[in-house]
């Protein structure tokens, strides 16, 4: 198997899996229970939260654990009024759909998928309370200049105060795809809300977290026993959070090594593949390779390659399964036929150089089969 879809899911690391095990059986207690063994579990849980929070430069008490990034993104919008949000038009559906439900306005991107700051400025009004821009795009890996956006929002705040406008404005970012390759730090990015995701950093699925700065007053999406400071009721997912913390730590430790490794694998891939155009040329994560075969239906390549044990994707896994054309590729100006011909290859820990040579050969072969069929 050659897995080239690490943006869709990552395997749980051995260390993380091992760390989780006891919390399914021996240490299964409800952290809210009164007796000592339960209190020990509660302490382990809080420690794990601290580890996760430290990785982004926050404290454990600043993050809310959720059942994945989608839920974290939903929670991040929970304090808004109608029409008070701006979001990047290339956001993942878990931001886009929520923003749309609040009557949000999309901000445009350039051909590399980077935010058009002027468009953000043009759409900024005193009604806007939240701007949501993902740190890295999930389809093409574009890295956004978040600190630049944060600096602009500080100007907006100051201008509002000078005019006696009390309404605050916050910055939210979904950093789900970023933590394997970037040092994600809330202070440096200047965000007020940040979503992170265990499933993309070799931790278990169904666990995510939202960093919430103290200024932001969220409304809980789920009510109940008051866990997570009342913002996310429900018995704590102890093994999930333990696994997440171990995975986050590993990602942090491997950061520099990963960058070198992926840059090299990407170089091999791009030099050995034939007859393609690179879609994500600039400002992109090193493990994202999006290529376009004009005139070929890339979805057919997925099915040809799966027979050879090579797993690739045409875009966001969720979007592809709904049969919807990628809004991201459209936003960066690709034509319908270019979108149909685009393949997303995302590299990860499971990949070796040998695999990448082999993958390039098999992808070339599949593309040739389709070219011949088209005549």
Partner 1 sequence: MDSFLELALRGKSPSLTNSKKLSISPHNPSELALRGTKPTVFVGMSGGVDSSASALLLKQQGYNVKGIYMKNWSKDLPGMKCPWAEDLADAKRVAVKLGIDFEVWDFEKEYYEKVVEYMISEFKAGNTPNPDVMCNQEIKFKLFYEKAMERGADFIATGHYARVSEFEPAFPSSGLKFSSTSYTGTRTEPSLRDEPVRSVRNIRVENSNQIYDSGKAGSNSPMLMMAVDQSKDQTYFLYRISDEALSRTIFPIGGMLKKDVKKFAQENGLHNAYKKESMGVCFVGEVGMRDFLKEYIDIAPGEIQEIETGKVVGHHEGAVFYTIGQRHGLYISGNVGEINTGLPYYVVKKDLKNNIVYVSRDLNNANIWTDELKLKDIIVRDYGGKPVSDVLVRLRHLGQLMPAKLDGDTLRFEQKIKRPASGQSAVFYQDEVCLGGGIII
Closest contact distance (angstroms) between CB of 136 and partner 1 is 26
Write phi, then psi, for 49 (nearest 5 degrees): -60, -40
Which has the closest alpha carbon to 137: 335, 298, 290, 349?
290
Other CB atoms within a 10 A radius of the CB of residue 322 amount to: 9
d(C-alpha 77, C-alpha 171), whole Å: 11
**Please, which residues bridge with residue 88 across strands?**
107
**Separation of first and last alpha carbons in the chain:** 30
Q: How far is the CB of 301 from partner 1 (least distance, A)?
A: 9
For the sheet with 170-174, list strands across it: 63-66, 208-212, 193-197, 170-174, 130-132, 85-88, 105-107
Q: Which residues contact 279 (CB under 8 A, 6 or more apart)?
A: 140, 290, 291, 292, 329, 332, 334, 342
Query: Given 123, 318, 358, 369, which residue is catalytic?
Result: 318
Query: What whole-number distance in Å separates Cα of residue 117 and Cα of residue 108?
Result: 9
Q: What is the 3-state secondary structure (H, E, C) of 14-48?
A: HHHHHHHHHHHCCCCCCCCCCCHHHHHHHHHHHHH
Which of 325/357 has CB closer to partner 1?
Answer: 325
Of the pair 164, 323, the CB lying nearest partner 1 is at: 323
3-state class (DSSP) for residue 232: strand
Pick from 304, 311, 325, 330 the residue near partner 1 by CB under 8 A: 304
318 in active site: yes
Q: What is the dihedral of CA 309, 312, 318, 322, to 10 degrees?
A: -80
Minimum CB separation of residue 365 from partner 1 in Å reads 14
Q: Looking at 299, 317, 357, 358, which residue binds partner 1 (CB under 8 A)? A: 299
Binding to partner 1 (CB under 8 A) within 104-163 occurs at none
Cα of 80 vs its chain's centroid, Å: 22
Contacts with partner 1, 345-374, as mask; x by CB under 8 A: ------------------------x---x-
Return phi, psi of residue 4, to 5°: -125, 45
Rounded distance between C-alpha atoms, residue 116 and residue 112, angstroms: 10
Binding partner 1 (rule: CB under 8 A), the pick from 303, 333, 337, 371 is 303
Total chain residues near partner 1 (CB under 8 A) = 11
- Select the span of 37-45, 129-137, 295-303, 354-362 touching partner 1 (CB under 8 A): 295-303
Q: Which is nearer to partner 1, 142 or 314 (CB)?
A: 314
> CB of 375: closest distance to partner 1 in angstroms?
11
Nearest to 69 by CA among 135, 142, 19: 135
CB of 303 to partner 1, least distance (A): 4
- Does position 1 interact with partner 1 (CB under 8 A)? The reply is no
Q: Does 322 bind partner 1 (CB under 8 A)?
A: yes
* Cβ-based nearer residue to partner 1, 126 or 370: 370
Does 317 bind partner 1 (CB under 8 A)? Our answer is no
337 binds partner 1 (CB under 8 A): no
Site for partner 1 contains 321 (CB under 8 A):
yes
Of residues 259, 283, 300, 330, which one binds partner 1 by CB under 8 A? 300
Q: Residues interacting with partner 1, by CB under 8 A?
A: 299-300, 303-304, 306-307, 321-323, 369, 373
| Active-site annotation, residues | 318
């Amino acid at each position: 198997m050659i897995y080239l879809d690490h943006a869709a899911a990552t395997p749980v690391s051995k260390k993380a899996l091992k760390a989780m095990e006891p919390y399914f059986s021996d240490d299964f207690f409800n952290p809210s229970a009164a007796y000592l063994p339960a209190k020990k579990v509660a302490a382990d849980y809080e420690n794990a939260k601290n580890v996760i929070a430290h990785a982004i430069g926050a404290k454990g008490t600043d993050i809310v654990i959720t059942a994945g990034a989608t839920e974290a993104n939903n929670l991040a919008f929970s304090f808004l009024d109608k029409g008070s949000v701006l979001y990047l038009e290339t956001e993942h559906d878990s931001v886009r759909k929520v923003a749309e439900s609040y009557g949000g306005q999309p901000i445009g991107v350039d051909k590399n998928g980077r935010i058009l700051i002027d468009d953000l400025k043009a759409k900024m009004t005193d009604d806007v309370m939240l701007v949501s821009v993902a740190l890295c795009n999930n389809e093409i890996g574009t890295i956004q200049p978040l600190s630049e956006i944060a600096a602009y929002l500080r100007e907006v705040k100051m201008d509002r105060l000078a005019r006696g406008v009390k309404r605050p404005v916050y910055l939210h970012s979904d950093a789900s795809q970023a933590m394997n390759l970037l040092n994600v730090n809330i202070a440096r990015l200047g965000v007020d809300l940040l979503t992170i995701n265990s499933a993309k950093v070799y931790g278990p699925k169904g666990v995510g977290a939202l960093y919430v700065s103290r200024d932001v007053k969220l409304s809980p999406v789920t009510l109940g026993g008051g866990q997570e400071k009342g913002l996310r009721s429900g018995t704590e997912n102890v093994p999930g959070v333990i696994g997440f913390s171990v995975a986050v730590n590993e990602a942090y430790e491997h950061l520099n090594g990963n960058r070198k490794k992926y840059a090299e694998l990407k170089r091999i891939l791009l030099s050995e593949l034939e007859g393609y155009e690179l879609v994500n040329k600039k400002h992109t994560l090193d493990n994202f390779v999006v290529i376009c075969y004009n005139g070929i239906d890339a979805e057919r390549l997925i099915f040809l390659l799966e027979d050879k044990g090579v797993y690739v994707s045409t875009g966001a896994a969720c979007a592809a399964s709904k049969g919807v054309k990628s809004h991201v590729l459209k936003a960066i100006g690709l034509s319908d036929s270019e979108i149909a011909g685009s393949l997303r290859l995302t590299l990860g820990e499971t990949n070796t150089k040998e695999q990448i040579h082999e993958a390039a050969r098999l992808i070339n072969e599949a593309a040739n089969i389709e070219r011949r069929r088209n005549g």
